[in-house]
Structure 1
């Protein structure tokens, strides 16, 4: 069973201000490198794609050897990035499921992704997702059978409706609750990452 990963990094990060939050320094690297690094510690490069849109060239330049999926419709919301990711995954006949990761969930560690992957290997026909504080969300693994439903999503809704369905295995994952939307979040991330060391 082959699993591919899509790291969604196409958004404009409007609440962050003029700068692209994914390029902002965080520790000894930038925000994007935290999530990509954790995924690449578990999956080979050829199974990982980076979905870019806003400032695509600058983000893609950080990982020139990864597959890049350019979402030209990134201003239409998160669903457009999911469409792009699924479309690229569909081109791989061997890919049975897609791990979807938001690039700004910087507290996630390789172990968090490994727990999702272990659960998927045990139940490959189910959606596997993070559960944080009574909420289900990404990162999540979507088996090929539900990809058509991902194509139907619109706007900024993401896959929340799918994650409320019955064939979902939810894995407790407190680290998934935090993402970076504002400069204040970035400062908080610095402190939280220092505390984790």
Structure 2
């Protein structure tokens, strides 16, 4: 898969968290025949032909259980310090020629499959220069596209700070993302999503 126009974006999957509140490695949970991490990697492939996965907690277990392989595994030894460090390591692992990076999380399996082509189309229409993000009830959030112009500000984040607060201050283009707000934080969230999945058959993608 190649990117259109002069957009040469990579994709990052952030999977370094310790899942402390979950009590189980989220990335290894099964959804529609995939681990959540494998599902995220396959979705990332719909956005870019270069996919890096940032890992830390529960590594290498989640790699062993992931049937879909990225182009590079990026190990963050300081993963317990929060998401900012994992995002920064992921971005620094990308080649210098990319215009920006799509960022995906492993805990949003209920996102409608039609979101991914819509996200990529929006980035291409903006020629990779404008931030693009999922519309989370009117607020910008993950998954998101972070143009290179944002990276210096991201480098100044720390702890559990993510790119969301930056996206909300910028002229970010929002893309409808049904299911994106149904993320997995605790075991009760997972049980609720499993019940929803049983009521809605898996769609091939």
TM-score by length of 1: 0.89
What is the match of residue 187 of structure 2?
183
Cα 1:66–1:110, aligned 2, differ >3 Å: closer, same or farther?
farther
Deviation per residue, 1:127-174 (Å, 9 max, x gap): 001112122211000111111111111111211221112321111213
Matched, 1:142 2:142: no
User: 1 or 2, which has the higher helix percentage?
Assistant: 1
Deviation per residue, 1:115-138 (Å, 9 max, x gap): 111111111211001112122211
What is the match of residue 106 of structure 1?
109
> Which of 74, 87, 93 is residue 92 of structure 2 equivalent to?
87
Deviates more, 1:100-109 or 1:23-32: 23-32
Matched, 1:192 2:192: no
What is the match of residue 76 of structure 1?
81
> Which of 121, 129, 133 is residue 129 of structure 1 equivalent to?
133
| Partner Cα separation in structure 2 for residue 88 and residue 111 of structure 1 | 29
SS in 1 for 2:14: strand
Matched, 1:52 2:58: no
Check whether the contact 1:53–1:72 (CA below 8 A) recurs between aligned residues.
yes
Q: Any stretches of 5+ residues in structure 2 without a counterpart?
A: 1-6
| Partner Cα separation in structure 2 for residue 141 and residue 64 of structure 1 | 21
Task: Please report how far the alpha carbon of residue 103 of structure 1 lies from its aligned counterpart in structure 2 after TM superposition.
Answer: 1.0
| Partner Cα separation in structure 1 for residue 70 and residue 9 of structure 2 | 18
Deviation per residue, 1:53-79 (Å, 9 max, x gap): 012212223245531111111101110
Query: How many residues matched?
Result: 192
Check whether the contact 1:39–1:110 (CA below 8 A) recurs between aligned residues.
no
Q: Any stretches of 5+ residues in structure 1 without a counterpart?
A: none
What is the match of residue 4 of structure 1?
10
